[in-house]
DNA sequence: TTCTAAATGCGAAAACTTCTCATTCCGTTC
DNA sequence: GAACGGAATGAGAAGTTTTCGCATTTAGAA
């Protein structure tokens, strides 16, 4: 039961928060904008106000339940925190997102922060490119899976 | 004369474009938002419409004259392209921005894109942390140099 | 100088996010 | 399980950043 997850995170188990958390857990897409969560819940008949979606996602972020990303779009993208930290490689053609972890890069980042005298609090690495599928389909943007520019 | 730079970039040497380019070259701050460029020109008596600032910076980006960054703020930050590519470490307290290049990271990124089957088009690495100065001043945000949250 | 396509400035509008505040809900107390 | 009080929600207004539409101006060629 998700209520426990919320309680543990220091949040009251309200209906909107439960709906949002449940949705994030069950969605096939791991990376979603507030708007996308809103629309998906709407379709599922679990409507939650958009303002609440934004508030709750921000609270989840503070509580460590989700991570907020800033891909080169213009809006925030959220992801449920499951296992470990990871970085992203994003298709500029269709919006597909793949994940990866590279210990060497992680380690270098720490060293760089140290060298510069910074106390590192966070870091974000985004690789942009054309995914395998889109490389085949040379023409304009192909299958608009995920969140493609083509919306 | 900057007109040549513009012509070379395939852009007509208009007054607004010249003002913006000149300003970017002479400004002490290397990383600036459209709004900051707008205000600075305004103060200098070289007012250019904000819409034009946005248009021109986007054109400069397409022409390879500037690079657009998306620090974890909510707006774009632009930087004149001088030498080589580099990444950024940003102070979350005062907004200070330092730059660095790490060949190992660069190389790993290429390898990752390759492994995932992506044709890399770009990449961005942002390290966030507390800068040396801000670490000394433990309290709330100290000197609001650069573009700090404290505006 | 004249001419034309391109660029600019302005305000309107779009896109995303936060805020305000009346209403509702959660969780605790009785 | 009814009552209470503070926290959370919903709806719309408002804030931010960026783009758009179009009348007017300008760069650069003729
Ligand atoms: Mn992810
Ligand atoms: Mn830089
Ligand atoms: Zn793709
Ligand atoms: Zn600092």
Give the CATH number, domain containing residue B92. Answer: 3.30.1490.190
pLDDT in tens, A4-16: 899 999 999 999 9
**Rounded mean pLDDT, A140-146:** 46
Distance measured from the CA of protein residue A15 to the C1' of nucleotide D2, in angstroms = 22
Number of domains in chain B: 2
A60 with A91, same domain: the answer is: no
A62 with A105, same domain: the answer is: no
A73 with A26, same domain: the answer is: yes
pLDDT in tens, A81-115: 998 899 999 999 888 999 999 999 999 999 999 99
User: pLDDT band at residue B113, thresholds of 50, 70 and 90?
Assistant: very high
A142 with A90, same domain: the answer is: yes
Domain interval for residue B72: 1-83
Closest CA to A3 of A13, A17, A16: A13
User: Which of these three, A24, A54, A83, is where a domain ends?
Assistant: A83
B65 with B121, same domain: the answer is: no
Whether A117 sits inside 8 A of B135 (CB atoms) is: yes
pLDDT in tens, B39-48: 999 999 999 9
pLDDT value of residue A2: 80
Q: What Rg, from alpha-carbon coordinates, does chain A have?
A: 17
Chain pair A-B, CB pairs under 8 angstroms: 114
> Quick one: DSSP state of residue A64?
T
Interface check A49 vs B, CB under 8 A: no
Closest CA to A20 of A36, B127, A9: A36
A79 with A89, same domain: the answer is: no
Give the nearest partner residue to A121 out of B98, B100, B129, using CB atoms: B129
A70 with A93, same domain: the answer is: no
pLDDT value of residue B151: 30
Closest CA to B125 of B91, B101, B148: B101
Q: What is the pTM of this model?
A: 0.88
- Cα A75 from chain centroid? 11
Token pair 């657009």 is found at B68
Indicate if the pLDDT at residue B22 is higher than 80: yes
B107 with B134, same domain: the answer is: yes
H or E element that contains B55 = helix B50-62
pLDDT value of residue B103: 96
A51 touches strand C (CB under 7 A): yes
Residues of B in contact with A125 (CB under 8 A): 109, 123-126
| Cα A83 to averaged position of ligand 4 atoms, centre (Å) | 31
């Amino acid at each position: 039961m998700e209520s426990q997850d919320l309680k543990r995170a220091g949040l009251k188990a309200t209906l909107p928060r439960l709906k949002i958390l449940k949705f994030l857990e069950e969605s096939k897409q791991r990376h979603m904008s507030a708007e996308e969560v809103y629309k998906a819940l709407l379709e599922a008949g679990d409507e939650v106000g958009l303002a609440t979606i934004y508030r709750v996602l921000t609270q989840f972020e503070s509580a460590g339940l989700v991570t907020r990303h800033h891909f080169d779009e213009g809006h925030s993208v959220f992801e449920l925190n499951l296992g470990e930290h990871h970085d992203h490689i994003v298709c500029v053609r269709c919006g597909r997102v793949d994940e990866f972890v590279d210990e060497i890069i992680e380690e270098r980042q720490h060293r760089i922060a140290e060298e510069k005298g910074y106390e590192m609090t966070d870091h974000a690495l985004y690789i942009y490119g054309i995914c395998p599928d889109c490389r085949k389909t040379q023409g304009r943007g192909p299958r608009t899976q995920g969140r493609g520019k083509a919306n």
